Structure 1
Amino acid sequence: MEQLTASEEVKSVGESLPAVIDQIEIVSDGKAFIEANTIGSTLTEVKHGHIIPVWVKDNEPVISHAEFIETALGVTMDVFRGEGILKPNVRLSHEIKGRVPEAKNKPANMLLEHEKTIYFERMMFVIEMPTIYTDINGNRLNLTVGGVKAYNLDNLYNKSGQDQHFKIFVGFKNTVCCNLCVVTDGYQANLKVKNVDMLRNEIRMMLQDFDAVNIAGQLKELNNYELSERQFANLLGRCRMYRHMPEILRQDIPDMSFGDAQINSVCKDYYSDNSFCSNPDGSINLWKLYNLFTGANKSSYIDTFLDRGLNAFQLASTLRTALKQKGTCWYLN
């Protein structure tokens, strides 16, 4: 298995990154890695322009979006010391507006900027490392760390000291299309912590345990197997059937969390995507198929995005195993 590549030119910049992070203007790819109902933002805007929710019973602050991002960034800079690390790319959704007490009785259209308050219920960010990358079928994949915070998962009508919920991951980002590659070994879907120190430790353990070379090898192997046009058609039909099947019939079938709209997107891009469309004979390799699913996943909301991204990898791995072992697979039969 070949090693991941390190770009010496960018790496030399990364060696001094901790001292100049505030001066670096390059952001982890400005393209949207998730679309749906999200808007783009920056760590600076989130840190200085958004209020921090509190535990209702004692008015103590929860871990803010900015603290989460800064904690992940700090751990990433420490674990991958000397590498080029870009500023976080932040996406937000579910805006919650407010106002200062002095503006209590003002009409909304007369509020001044300093009288308005705002924060977002859901946030996702990615931190890209262009000095650690691999190449699959001409697509450059950069190692990427990220996370999701959704305050709706926390019971804020409680007192401080309660568990707060986070999702964290480390994987790869396809620079051709900004699709994220999320795998089981680099994802914690239901991380519960009580404070920033616990959060920091969990992120560190995840990064230190992640075997980037092994995961890159699994992704590359997808390029070696392909589906015929008929198998692709069977796959899409089975994906649609899965969501309507009785629970008892699903028990021995790998999960499928993509909805009909996203399956439609996969079908459309099978014919029209510039980078991942099918071959002239209708066949498509699993690497392209995987990217059709991760591309369709961009229409997911923040709180389901990572889980569906993982589901795309699990589906591709299931298909790879069936083709490699020449066995049966419900999605293809």
Structure 2
Amino acid sequence: MQTQIMPLEESCEAVVIDSAPSSERAFLLANTLPSTLREMQEKHIIPVYSKDNEPLISHSDFIESALETVERLFPHESILEPAIRVSHPIKGRIPSARNKPAKDLEDWERTLYYERAAFVIEIPSIQESVGDNQLSLTIGGVKAYNHDSLHQKKGVDEHFKVFIGFQNLVCTNLCVSTDGYLADLRVKSVAQLITAIEELIRRYRLNNHLSLMRQLTECYLTEQQFAQLIGRCRLYQYLPQAQKREIAPLLITDQQISIIARDYYRDHSFCREADGRISLWKLYNLLTGAVKSSYIDTFLERNVNSLELTSGILQTLQGLHTWQNWFLQ
């Protein structure tokens, strides 16, 4: 059955917001910590522009805007609470506690916000099956204040990343395609942010994305081809720049390539077949699993890059000429 994202409609039915988070296991690892929307709203201070002390759009504002948009566009669906990961804490203290040793500070004397945050909102009532794995439609984003110009006045663009795609319920890996991703969304207000999120959701080609992922289940690499792919990925980082420009970009790090090689043998869900073959669907999930070790502000690009690499390999095996041909030459 083909799933469609329905157009905006008026409805008197209440959206079901499940109290369970959108993922019981982390969709992102690296140096992140779990957080909740309530914790952000009640305990995290909001960074400001240094020249006029005006606030930036906070992490909680961003997540609330995305959640509000999802509720409006999917009025009849079950929607889970956002799953949130944060990193790079910015700590402070109130003026009256300026001379206290850190160990003696009371909770109410500390201030805190996180430089980077990522979140996903899962819609479990919209699910599809790919390669015997259940996938849920998922919307999310990233906000990293290190990409903003905090030394200026309010009115300059603030930077966001937003996506719509799927989450593999077997492993919580995200499946994000190019047309479901805004890598550098720049807005000046919450209203502009909501509009951009809505536009992304409306133009996302869900069925095309699913069709591509299902094609990956039908194509396999031999053990020798997989070994060649891993070797080429390691060589890529050291290629002359002129040659690199002729090949599709590879954003995955050497450490993550090592994780893929290890999990080719050891991953419970996506390891090789008994004869050494591995489907491109399993390869794709090894890639998306490995990039979960990325920092918050780089993991979405690497996730999208995982699908670009795998779909390019698919085309190579089909005899088509693509930028990814080099990886299996």
Structure 2 counterpart of 1:17: 15
CA distance, structure 2, for counterparts of residue 160 and residue 136 of structure 1: 45
2:316 corresponds to 1:331: no
State the TM-score, normalized to the length of structure 2. 0.95
Q: Take 2:220 and 2:246, find their aligned partners in 1: how far apart are those partners?
A: 24
Bigger drift between 161-170 and 209-218 goes to 209-218
Partner in structure 2 of residue 184 of structure 1: 178
**Alignment check: 8 A CA contact 1:36 1:300 kept:** yes
Moved over 2 A (4+): 14-18, 325-328
Corresponding residue for residue 133 of structure 1: 127
Matches within 5 A, 1:60-139: 60-139=54-133
1:44 partnered with 2:38: yes
Q: Aligned residues: percent identity?
A: 49
TM superposition shift of 1:244 = 1.1
Contact 1:5 1:134 in 2 (8 A): no
Distance 1:15 1:206 in 2: 24
Match of 1:264 in 2: 258
- For the 8 Å contact 2:4–2:206, the answer to whether it is kept is no
RMSD: 1.5
After TM superposition, the structure 1 = structure 2 runs for residues 289-300 of structure 1, keeping only pairs within 5 Å, are 289-300=283-294
Partner of 2:210: 216
**Distance in 1, Cα, partners of 2:13 & 2:230:** 47
Alignment partners' CA distance in 2, 1:119 and 1:132: 34
**Quick one: distance in 1 between partners of 2:177 and 2:84?**
21
Partner in structure 2 of residue 310 of structure 1: 304
For residues 185-239 of structure 1, the C-alpha deviation after alignment (integer angstroms, 9 at most, x for no partner) is 0000011101101101000000011121221111111111111111101100110
Distance 1:50 1:313 in 2: 35
Q: CA deviation at 1:327?
A: 5.4
Q: CA deviation digits over 1:281-308, x for unaligned, max 9?
A: 1111100000000000111110110000
In structure 1, which of residues 191, 195, 202 is the aligned counterpart of residue 196 of structure 2? 202
Deviation string 1:79-136 (CA, Å, 9 cap, x unpaired) is 1111111000000000110011111111111111111000000000000000111101
Alignment length (residue pairs): 321
CA contact (8 A) 1:36 1:298 kept: yes
**What's 2:272 paired with?**
278
| Runs of at least 5 residues in structure 1 that lack an aligned partner in the other structure | 7-13
Q: Distance in 1 between matches of 2:219 and 2:253?
A: 25
CA distance in 2, matches of 1:148, 1:73: 14
SS at match of 1:239: helix
* 1:124/1:149 contact within 8 Å kept: yes
Q: Answer whether contact 2:14 2:75 (CA < 8 A) is retained.
A: no
Unmatched segments (≥5 aa) in structure 2: 6-11
Counterpart of 1:53 (choices 47, 60, 63) is: 47
Aligned pairs for 1:243-258 within 5 A: 243-258=237-252
Q: What TM-score, normalized by structure 1, do the two folds share?
A: 0.94
Equivalent of 2:151 in 149, 157, 170: 157
- Report how far residue 149 of structure 1 moved: 0.3
Shift of 1:17: 2.6
Secondary structure at the counterpart of residue 48 of structure 1: helix
Letter in structure 2 aligned against 1:3: Q
